[in-house]
Structure 1
Amino acid sequence: MTSRSRGWVVGRIAGAPVLVTPSWFFGALVLTLVFAPTVRSWFAPRMTTTGVLVVAFAFVLLLFASVFLHEVAHALVARSRGHRVTELALTLWGGHTAYTGPGGRPLDGVLVAVVGPLTNLALAGAFWVAFQLQPIGTVPSMLLFAGAVSNAFVGFFNLLPGLPLDGGQILESIVWGATGSRSKGTLAAGWVGRVVAIGVLAWALLWPLLDGGTPSWVTVVWAALIGAFLWSGAGDAIKGAQTRARVATLSARGLAVPAVVVPVATTVAGVSVAAAGSPGAVVAVVGPSGEPVGWVDPAAVANVPAARADATPVESVVVPFPPGSAVTSDLEGDALLDRLAHGSSGARVVPVLEAGRVTGVLDVARVAAALRR
């Protein structure tokens, strides 16, 4: 199950809840205070402090409305490509759209990603046209001008080719399509994302110096915050790709422990005889039609007195397999993990089948250990 962000649900789009997270209010407050001096410089001394804050907050609402439309575009295209949208959230950093789907395809990643920045660039054009039609020096003209500039910046910035930006998802999908490996695409876009993060801070520090000026501490702080956000997102993407690569190496056949198969009519003494020639194997019990019944617990066998082993049925020392928990030996990667997550019913050991016959057992703990390695 996908975890949902904390926040208040204010509506639904594309079948998913629209959330306003607590961090959004902090972001809105900070942006209002940051933009207020710009408003004051346009309208001083004609506007009071209250008026300046109101206009600055109006710009913030306009900016977040643009970001919201960016996320709506992601959601609508994701749903049109067969994915299930799970949430649209407005956050400190703008917003995000979460969706799930059956594996996905490189083209899906490109289409879902590119439509967000294109929405902002279209809004920038619309705001610019509207700005040209307004008298200069009015509040509407200033808001339209700021809307055009901010949307152009958001659109172009999001197209930079590094995760977690939309351009990074586009790069990830292109490398994925070219190599056939999504993990390679994610790794490439994650490392480029780290370069972008460093570049953002370097731009804030070096550009003013190259222009003969001094870096603004406000710009440097914002660049550092944005760079830290990008660095963190890129790092998460790299870790995710490495995990996905490890998952791809997992296979039921490679992780299974060989099984010595005995019929359900066997006695405990018969189990000992059958297992004697196969050290390290697990004894699996099958029914009359070869269906998996369970696996023999060595500790339970050891507790049966030798004098009673011939008369004790194997069922008395069997740990049953949950119905439908068997995995086929050809399962690998995500398909194997998904099968274990949804079909093992919490069992520690499940049977492995090849051509309908029990050939081994799979210890879920062994799978988890292999994934950690």
Structure 2
Amino acid sequence: MRLAFYAPLKPLAHPVPSGDRAMARALLLALTHMGSQVDLAASLRSRDGSGDVAVQRSLLDQVDHLLPDIVDQGRAAGWQAWITYHNYYKAPDLIGPAAARALGIPYLLIEATRARKRLGGPWDAFARAAEAASDAAAVVFYLTERDHEALAAYAPSGQNLVHLPPFLPRADLPIMASGTHLLAVGMMRAAAKLPSYQLIAETLALLPSQTKLDIAGDGPARAQVEALMAPFGTRVQFLGALGSNTLAQAYGRAGALIWPGVDEAFGMTYLEAQAHGLPVIAQDRPGVRDVLYPRTYPGVDEGAAGLAALALSQHPAPQDIQDYIRAKHLLPVAANTLRAGLAQAGVL
């Protein structure tokens, strides 16, 4: 099976790491794992983060020039379906629907979000393009229940919605963690991540004085994070930005992951930590709860007091956590789900 794949928000070769780039790369592995030959159909990044009409017009003009060559490439390669990862109003798929239509092949979306409230505003053209792409898809794979609610509300007749839980790009599990201290893993970007770091500091202040915390991550807000953690002295250790191997070692030395997840859609770090059998101390938020081992301690306050209570609670057995990841969030499971969705689109 020959497939076209496109990630308009962040191309797979983008130099800046992020959860979105990691998920796009994982999807490419999953499609290959199921036996497909996958071509990267386009590299245009369609993101407009500020609602600039001129930027949107320029990107639409670029698509007009790119589309004929992409269609020619698809005909020569014999693409049987087009799959786009992450379509939303700030980075819509401006290419896939037209290319799939010209080639006469099914069009599928992974992680599409509906935002009709953006129609008529500064992102109007892009919001309309994102809605049109969502309407065009024969199958939409949704990652979280929150996305499913909007997709189901506006799905055109005959569209199939398939749950594809976020997953790790691996078929096995790492060694089980064996430490006792807390670990936080997160980029240090002021607007996006500081609220979680603030909650971590407030939580640590409520925990016994022997509780230690390692922090893996770096970024432009590091000085602010260091200031938040300064009152704890040697109880907090900064590990800096870690590569995949050293990060795996950090998980293996920990006893639990603490990451509140303020305004997170979902976080790959939750899956990585749980793959090591680590319990997670996080807020019960939409998106976050979609990737966490089912809680056995409902009803806690989601502020620092609740997170501290969670940290002091009896945690699930590490083996149970790993079994949960194996059953729902590894590469073979994702490949089977993608195969089933392609079958619904008439590709298989």
Higher relative contact order structure (alpha carbons within 8 Å, sequence separation ≥ 6): 2
Higher helix share: 1
Using the size of structure 2 for normalisation, the TM-score is: 0.26
TM-score of the pair, normalised by structure 1: 0.25
